[in-house]
Structure 1
């Protein structure tokens, strides 16, 4: 089965997708006039703006729901595998993907807000919704929904569960079967509680786990501060082909940096718009700007924390594409969670491996929950309250729990391979869609900035901007007071 999975991955993650992700990031950065730089202060302000309502969640809850999907095994094991197969330079390309991907995230998440709907009393949205309403391509929307249900409901949870099992086995010696049982029980309690319970859980756990992990990295960096300049030099020189040892790997550095960057921060993948659409805000651009900040948190903070801990302690291997290793700091150790655990363990013996194991438990567990929410939103899209929706959602829950158990006890190569297929399929379909449907998101940004310049609290009126089929916003605008701009 592994050979079959590797063959499919070779097609899905061809160089075309790698450079498409980078190219789209550059394009949207230019089209939004580098909003990811201009609106950093606004990102932070809006993060705590607004409150949850009966039908939607707050901006902060939507952000943490998104981060719960973004901050996962990719931030620990994903960074390690990027370094192992792409060299230290892969970290630079993960940073570049985050910087450029923030603008991509703005576009897709704003589109998710513009074309969201009320489904069974809850705000729902995502690529399937904006593909159908914005592009009028129902068949394409169905294709994305099916790919996302397959990816987030079946293929990706196993990767996260495998990381949890590996981390707890290395840190505490807990058998994979025991971990699988515990995770499934806890997961069932959350996913059967609905979106509100998911939002409340993410709001509490995500900030706590991310800050704790970053703090540990800061302690390790501080204890080895003299090595930091050399690590930074190694990352940059390897990425730009200046380093004698790793410079020849520039192609692998780009491929693995972008691949793991997209998997980790999800910019362009299409998962972020689902949580973004659930936020109850007065203007779609608000949540788009907030969601761009999520990319920074995921990659520039959490992924960088992992990279610095691994590189500064030298606890990693770099595979030579021609055979053997270009660097071997952990002989015989498989790329993945063990790199990070070994790095922290080398500074805090008897504690480091356990700390990373617990961090990975929280990271990956919340990610599986986020995957369920994304898959559930696409089931809701396909059925839209039709008869049988309850049965379909129950089957989705069962499939998620089953694949979580399967992934926990399978090999990491198979789990990662299946997960990469899921990410790649979603990215292909979503990136093409947002390229075709970019104008409403760009109009929303211009409108938001224009209203702010006049000292107004931005309110969204799609009809005034010539945006059609934004039914939720049209009904909301018609029910409110006349626009003061008219």
Structure 2
């Protein structure tokens, strides 16, 4: 089975997907006139102010939900893996895919807002790729095809976020805690299941509240500690940055033979970490209460920067500046060692141990504990975000039937589909904690790759409404207005939520006047 999954993963993560991710980022950057650069001041401003309502969360909460899905084991174990198998140059390609991916994230998240809807069971906002694939083309002759496409994406997302991807997070947590405190994987599995069960049963509001508190704290704390250690090795930073660039471009003698691996692992782990183009970001983007879709598109584009340029860079510089790395030939820990920073013990496994030993170079014995705690927060919030995405797509597939019990055996009735999903994701977490790292990462990569293929191809086809929203947003800003979205005026069809939308403040004014 392991060999079969590895083969499937090889087909999914072929060079074609790598080129697709990079080419899409370049294309969206040009079409949006490099919105990821032009609108950085507005991105920051929108983060600091935003609306929320009984149906939607604030822009910051939606960002926190998105970051809770983006910032996970990919930011620590994923960066270590990329360096181990792609060399220092992999970090450069992570930066490249983040810069280009920010424009991709803007497009997909703006589409998520444009075509969002209100959940008939809870009243909360729901949206994502399945919703915009179905709605954006529903007035055309291609409507039946895109309806099927939407169903396929939703089903793949339930599979990926509900079963495949959570196992990577729990596996890294278990590995880090075992390294730090010798805690049994069984204990980690049980503890994680208990904490997750409490949070996910509370619904999107509890998820947003949990993420808004935990994500900023954990991200800032991790970056600060990492930067303290990097600054302690400040004299090496110019050479480290030079090494990263030389390795990425094949100009370094030691890593020239693995330039292809640098690109592959940089893009692969970059997409896994920042999720630009994967189709996960639009789910949390759609949950936000904003007066214009472009607002949340900009906020989510900035989330890519936070994830990769801040958190992943902190890990990469931490590992490289302390010498806590080992680079292998053949993209396997069994391959020839091409470079060794001289800090790692001979039995150090590729993954969280790299960062743990890196921190130990300044504070002996503290590294294992610090990274284990950081990973616990990162991974927990990521799994919670995965559940929200899986649940959103389940609601798309079954609608109100999500609350109805489903037959199990003739004459008996089981739990409703939402409870079944909750049970499945908890099982996935437990199994992941007890699996090998190789198996867990293979499953996770398959989930990410399947979603990325479907989402990127889809948004290339239906991208136009995102640019219309961007131009409208910028036009209203120039006129000194707080932009409000009117899809009919822009010729955007099937954005039914916005056709009757009034900002909550305006609804209150009408009530008072009456």
Moved more, 334-343 or 422-431: 334-343
User: For 1:77 and 1:50, how far apart are their aligned partners in 2?
Assistant: 33
Offset from partner CA, 1:56-111 (integer Å, 9 cap, x none): 10000000000000000000000000000100000000000000000000000000
User: For 1:321 and 1:118, how far apart are their aligned partners in 2?
Assistant: 49
Residues 1:163 and 2:172 aligned together? yes
Give 1:110-121 correspondences, 5 Å limit: 110-119=110-119, 120=121, 121=123
User: For 1:62 and 1:107, how far apart are their aligned partners in 2?
Assistant: 16
CA positional deviation for 1:386: 2.9
User: For 1:332 and 1:177, how far apart are their aligned partners in 2?
Assistant: 23
Moved more, 241-250 or 26-35: 241-250
User: For 2:329 and 2:313, how far apart are their aligned partners in 1?
Assistant: 23
Give 1:100-111 correspondences, 5 Å limit: 100-111=100-111
Match for residue 455 of structure 1?
Answer: 480
CA positional deviation for 1:335: 1.0
Match for residue 484 of structure 1?
Answer: none
**Which structure 1 segments of 5+ residues have no match?**
482-486
Residues 1:212 and 2:227 aligned together? no
User: For 2:372 and 2:3, how far apart are their aligned partners in 1?
Assistant: 29
User: For 1:50 and 1:212, how far apart are their aligned partners in 2?
Assistant: 24
Residues 1:328 and 2:326 aligned together? no
CA positional deviation for 1:478: 12
Contact 1:383 1:389 in 2 (8 A): no
Match for residue 369 of structure 2?
Answer: 354
User: For 1:178 and 1:403, how far apart are their aligned partners in 2?
Assistant: 15
User: For 1:303 and 1:465, how far apart are their aligned partners in 2?
Assistant: 38
Match for residue 81 of structure 2?
Answer: 81
Contact 1:460 1:477 in 2 (8 A): no
User: For 2:367 and 2:350, how far apart are their aligned partners in 1?
Assistant: 17
Give 1:112-131 correspondences, 5 Å limit: 112-119=112-119, 120=121, 121-131=123-133
1:188 paired residue among 183, 197, 202? 197
Contact 1:176 1:408 in 2 (8 A): yes
User: For 1:239 and 1:127, how far apart are their aligned partners in 2?
Assistant: 33
SS of the aligned residue for 1:327 comes to strand
CA positional deviation for 1:321: 2.3
Moved more, 290-299 or 385-394: 385-394
1:363 paired residue among 363, 367, 378? 378
Offset from partner CA, 1:171-193 (integer Å, 9 cap, x none): 11111100111110000000000
Contact 2:52 2:290 in 1 (8 A): no
Match for residue 43 of structure 2?
Answer: 43
Match for residue 497 of structure 2?
Answer: 472
Contact 2:274 2:308 in 1 (8 A): yes
User: For 2:174 and 2:367, how far apart are their aligned partners in 1?
Assistant: 16
CA positional deviation for 1:303: 0.3
Match for residue 398 of structure 1?
Answer: 423
User: For 1:231 and 1:144, how far apart are their aligned partners in 2?
Assistant: 41
CA positional deviation for 1:325: 1.1
Residues 1:242 and 2:279 aligned together? no
CA positional deviation for 1:477: 6.0
2:307 paired residue among 294, 298, 307? 298
Summarize the Cα distance change of 1:365–1:387 in structure 2 as closer, same or farther, 3 Å threshold: closer
User: For 2:372 and 2:60, how far apart are their aligned partners in 1?
Assistant: 27
Summarize the Cα distance change of 1:389–1:39 in structure 2 as closer, same or farther, 3 Å threshold: farther
Offset from partner CA, 1:245-281 (integer Å, 9 cap, x none): 1122111100000000000000000000000000010
> Alpha carbon RMSD of aligned pairs, Å?
1.4
User: For 1:314 and 1:42, how far apart are their aligned partners in 2?
Assistant: 38
Q: Normalising by the residue count of structure 2, what TM-score does the alignment of the two structures yield?
A: 0.92
Moved more, 204-213 or 1-10: 1-10
Offset from partner CA, 1:399-454 (integer Å, 9 cap, x none): 00001000001100000000000000000000011000100001000000011111
2:157 paired residue among 123, 144, 148? 148
Match for residue 413 of structure 2?
Answer: none
Residues 1:59 and 2:56 aligned together? no
**Which structure 2 segments of 5+ residues have no match?**
138-142, 406-415, 508-514
Contact 2:61 2:209 in 1 (8 A): yes
User: For 2:296 and 2:188, how far apart are their aligned partners in 1?
Assistant: 36
CA positional deviation for 1:49: 2.0
Match for residue 6 of structure 1?
Answer: 6
1:432 paired residue among 450, 457, 482? 457
Residues 1:222 and 2:237 aligned together? no
Match for residue 253 of structure 1?
Answer: 262
Match for residue 444 of structure 1?
Answer: 469
User: For 2:371 and 2:188, how far apart are their aligned partners in 1?
Assistant: 15
Contact 1:461 1:474 in 2 (8 A): yes
Contact 1:461 1:477 in 2 (8 A): no
Match for residue 409 of structure 2?
Answer: none
